[in-house]
Amino acid sequence: GATANKASHNRTRALQSHSSPEGKEEPEPLSLELEYIPRKRGKNPMKAVGLAWYSLYTRTWLGYLFYRQQLRRARNRYPKGHSKTQPRLFNGVKVLPIPVLSDNYSYLIIDTQAQLAVAVDPSDPRAVQASIEKEGVTLVAILCTHKHWDHSGGNRDLSRRHRDCRVYGSPQDGIPYLTHPLCHQDVVSVGRLQIRALATPGHTQGHLVYLLDGEPYKGPSCLFSGDLLFLSGCGRTFEGNAETMLSSLDTVLGLGDDTLLWPGHEYAEENLGFAGVVEPENLARERKMQWVQRQRLERKGTCPSTLGEERSYNPFLRTHCLALQEALGPGPGPTGDDDCSRAQLLEELRRLKDMHKSK
């Protein structure tokens, strides 16, 4: 951990959160006293803000107004999206990544026979609507992983445009324009799409991930992970602790290796850089980094990966590995509790990641 400790100061991820504007007309965006820093490779589009701001961003209109400012700037800078993406077409099912804001991904999951679509985390309603029209599908459901505006900001406009569209999410998370609350293991059915909600608290109290069952179309299952899990990374623990996040990550670890991972952000290059600091001898990480760097040089997206791949190089899924435990971990807990030591290791990894500054 010594190398990571030499990295420069903490780069807190952008906090785009909300208090639901239910029933109110959207105000004109205000000019906030916050500096916008253009996105560089592997960097977040906002100046870092401390955790002390988190309540302000999640519980007041400032978070919403800041999201509107981000949206406007990102549309100007990336009129065709921040990355070039490719859809995955299976037997009658299509998964379409939509690059939005400066590094977010929204998704359309389409039953191509019924021409029905589900949107996941539609933060830019204009970009999502353009994809809906291009695909010639009917939007019938929105799945929100969590409340932050960079994942839920399009709920209002899309649900108003598509009157029969249902908005799903956790009732614990204050999802804007929520119509259909979900609990752990609830299933959303749209045509031949069977999508299971899994409770994964930690980033937020009510964070959900969504698992598209591959069996009906004889293909791989797909995990839409929001801000729980990224390629070689995981989300910050804003509304939980290390034990909570470890339990949520273990929920994902219980899924099959061939499950495709569709994350909420394009963080691959930065995350793999950090993984190289804590596991410099990991050859799987090195191979993946070479591929990711080639992709990013051409501004191509890096999703999906697979959970099998993630197990091989994502340090946040490798807290059971002896090499990481010996390098960074505190050793077994006072009662020999392995889960306790894994949670402490996860907490240390998160601390080092927050200090890490990619070159």
Supply the range of the domain harboring residue 307. Answer: 58-355
The answer to whether residue 43 sits within a structural domain is: no
DSSP states of 39-84 as a string? PPTT--SB----GGGHHHHHHSHHHHHHHHHHHHHHHHH-TT-SSB
Residue 63's Cβ-count burial label (10 Å; 0-12, 13-18, 19+) is buried
Which listed residue (111, 121, 124, 150) is catalytic? 150
| Domain assignment of residue 22, yes or no | no
Instruction: Look up the CATH number of the domain holding residue 232.
Output: 3.60.15.10
Q: In whole angstroms, what is the distance from residue 55 CA to residue 53 CA? A: 6
Residue 150 is a catalytic residue? yes
Give strand ranges (E) for 131-185: 138-143, 166-169, 180-181
Contact 34, 66 (CB under 8 A): yes
CA distance 254 to 317: 11
The pTM of this model reads 0.84
Which of the residues 148, 162, 207, 356 is marked catalytic?
Answer: 148
User: What SS3 state is found at 187?
Assistant: strand
203 annotated active-site? yes
Find the farthest-apart pair of alpha carbons in the chain and give their distance in angstroms, rounded.
59
Q: Single out the catalytic residue among 18, 82, 227, 356.
A: 227
Element holding 292 (H helix, E strand): helix 283-297
Q: What letter does residue 207 receive in the DSSP assignment? A: -
Catalytic residue among 18, 82, 162, 203: 203
Q: Which residues of the chain have pLDDT under 50?
A: 1-49, 334-335, 359
pLDDT 10s digits, 232-284 = 999 999 999 999 999 999 999 999 999 999 999 999 999 999 999 999 999 99
Asked whether residue 227 is domain-assigned, the answer is yes
Q: H or E segment at 253?
A: helix 242-253
Interior/surface letters 265-284, b for 16+ CB within 10 angstroms, e for the rest: bbbbbbbbbbbbbbbeebee
Contact 314, 274 (CB under 8 A): no
Which is nearest to 142 in space by CA: 121, 156, 124, 127? 121
Is 146 a residue of the active site?
A: yes
Instruction: Tell me, yes or no, whether 36 lies in a domain.
Output: no
Distance CA 289, CA 268 (A): 8
Give me the residue label for tokens 């069996």: 215
DSSP 8-class letter at 144: -
- d(CA 277, CA 179) in angstroms, rounded, equals 44
Residue 200 counted as domain residue: yes
Can 227 be counted among the known catalytic residues? yes
Alpha-carbon distance of 212 to 333, in angstroms, equals 37
Q: Give the total number of structural domains in the chain.
A: 1
The single residue of 82, 162, 265, 356 carrying the catalytic annotation is 265
Joined tokens for residue 84:
């070039």
Query: Is 5 among the domain residues?
Result: no
Tokens at 283, concatenated = 């050859």
Contact 214, 109 (CB under 8 A): no
- pLDDT of the residue at 332: 54
The pLDDT assigned to 259 comes to 98
Residues, the chain: 359
Annotated active-site residue 265? The verdict is yes
Query: Is 28 part of any domain?
Result: no
Residue 182 lies in a domain: yes
CA–CA separation, 134 and 12 (whole Å): 36
